[in-house]
Structure 1
Amino acid sequence: MISGTGTEIGKTVVTSAVAAAALAAGLSVAVLKPAQTGVGPDEPGDVAVAARLAGSAVTTLELARYPEPLAPDTAARRASLPTVSPAEIAEAARRLSLSHDLVLVEGAGGLLVRFDEAGHTLADAARLLGAPTLVVAPAGLGTLNSTALTAEALRTRGLVALGVVIGSWPADPGLAARCNLADLPAVSALPLLGAIPERSGALAPAAFRTAAPGWLARPLHGTWSDHSFLKAWPA
């Protein structure tokens, strides 16, 4: 499961990078988007971004699409469309896992965004699957609190948190971003597993695939080192 601490912080690019790194490591990969919001019927969604950046070898699946950029349950209600339940998400992921080494499930917004009328969230799907969750966080001021809250929500629910990836690392990071490199693991009790350079999603797909393993740590099939990164960006 790939969840953010909020919206518009780089989840899709992180998902694409993890997919690209896993493919480079020789794994077969599927990307599942349970609910795509804010996209019209003929517009490319997040799974299309993953396929473009990581490559056509990635299998993609979108379960539901809603036109307005809102939480999935709100967007579904306003469009008079069915919601997606945790059981449907888990079943789709299980089907994909039968023919793929790695299935990445990209959430919508943060961990506790509602998917249906009963208030179920991505955390409920993670529980059904027994799947670890990767937390995507922004680099700058304010990220410590939201990342700590997300980590606490995962632990409270008995879920496994894999670690944190910074979704968009600035080319010229300020003091807060540089301090957060050391502080994020301390406040969340989760390892820092990567940092995606800002505007990486605008790279040519071939360049993205080549660079992706260097943005991610070994548990995500990459070569990135938190120790080296902290040395390169001292606070």
Structure 2
Amino acid sequence: MNIFSGLFITGTDTGVGKTIVTAALAAALRAEGIHAGIWKPVQSGAQLGSGATDAERLLRYTGIPERPETVALFSFAAPLAPLIAARQANISVTLKDLVSAGKTAARGYETLIVEGAGGAAVPLTEDCLTADLILELGLPALIVARSGMGTVNHTALTAFFLQQRKIPVIGVIMNDGTGDGLDQDPSVATNVELIEHISGHRVLGRFPVLQGEIHPQVLVDTVRKSIDLEPVRRALAM
């Protein structure tokens, strides 16, 4: 049973675009009248308050009036896996702590769009991988993957790992990122077909390169043009 209504956004790797996709989905749902919040269970790689953390970018992109420390209670400056970053900061985080933070982040919201750290096998605590947290929360997962070369293997392995943990996967979103080299990458034309065939999961769309300032309406318009939101709506209604 779900601890709260929501969807967990995980990736095939770090830097694949989970933050922009999480923000875009939240913004699009809010534009439809769904009171969606955002949550980053653990983040590392920048100091909270610098404006460079994922939590701060999520708030900036969606326009949600929350405090960064509510969105990401556990933040570590070291650019390391959350478990190691927490060790270096002499802070002990448990799965129970993460679930409690999620319940706090969900208060007052109809649903919560959750962004993981890195991929599904990233260690968050001494005895908890990202997949363990997803399972504990009882949420379905959506995989964010790069559009270019190498993504078929990474996406299939992520999907199989989640399935092994009996976590429902509602689909995959490809992300163009900065777009560097994609126009010279012949794999882009066939990656979607291969991912769907091998993993058994639908690709819900391809998130394009965004130019200029990113704000909620830009994300809403992008989702409407590029992403099939119906599987997300169905997942949140379960």
What is the TM-score normalised by the length of structure 2?
Answer: 0.84
The CA RMSD over aligned residues, in Å, is 2.1
Cα contact 1:115–1:122 (8 A) shared by 2: yes
Is there any run of 5+ residues in structure 1 with no aligned partner, and where? 222-235
From 174, 185, 207, the counterpart of 2:218: 207
Pairing 1:101-116 to 2, within 5 Å after superposition: 101-116=110-125
The amino acid that maps onto 1:23 is R
1:148 CA displacement: 0.8
Q: 2:65 and 2:222 mapped to 1: Cα distance?
A: 17
Please give the secondary structure, in 2, of the residue aligned with 1:2: strand
Between stretches 7-16 and 182-191, larger displacement belongs to 182-191
Q: Does 1:219 align with 2:228?
A: no
Q: Does 1:79 align with 2:89?
A: yes
Q: Deviations over 1:15-56 (max 9, x none)?
A: 011101101111011111111111124212212212222223
Cα contact 2:37–2:113 (8 A) shared by 1: yes
From 202, 206, 214, the counterpart of 1:195: 206
Pairing 1:31-180 to 2, within 5 Å after superposition: 31-44=38-51, 45-56=53-64, 61-83=71-93, 85-118=94-127, 120-168=128-176, 170=179, 172=183, 174-180=185-191
Q: 2:80 and 2:86 mapped to 1: Cα distance?
A: 9
Cα contact 1:37–1:68 (8 A) shared by 2: yes
Indicate the residue corresponding to 2:16 in structure 1: 9
Cα contact 1:168–1:199 (8 A) shared by 2: no
1:212 CA displacement: 2.7
What is the TM-score normalised by the length of structure 1?
Answer: 0.85
Q: Deviations over 1:85-141 (max 9, x none)?
A: 3333233333444522220111110101001122x1121111112100110100111
The percent of aligned pairs where both chains have the same amino acid is 32
Q: 1:32 and 1:130 mapped to 2: Cα distance?
A: 15
1:173 CA displacement: 6.3
Q: Deviations over 1:71-97 (max 9, x none)?
A: 0001111222233x3333233333444
Q: 1:54 and 1:220 mapped to 2: Cα distance?
A: 17
Return structure 1 stretches of 4+ with deviation > 6 angstroms.
none
Please give the secondary structure, in 2, of the residue aligned with 1:115: strand
User: Does 1 or 2 have the higher relative contact order (CA < 8 Å, sep 6+)?
Assistant: 2
Please give the secondary structure, in 1, of the residue aligned with 2:144: strand
Q: 1:67 and 1:57 mapped to 2: Cα distance?
A: 23
The number of residue pairs the alignment matches comes to 218
Cα contact 1:32–1:105 (8 A) shared by 2: yes
Cα contact 1:30–1:58 (8 A) shared by 2: no
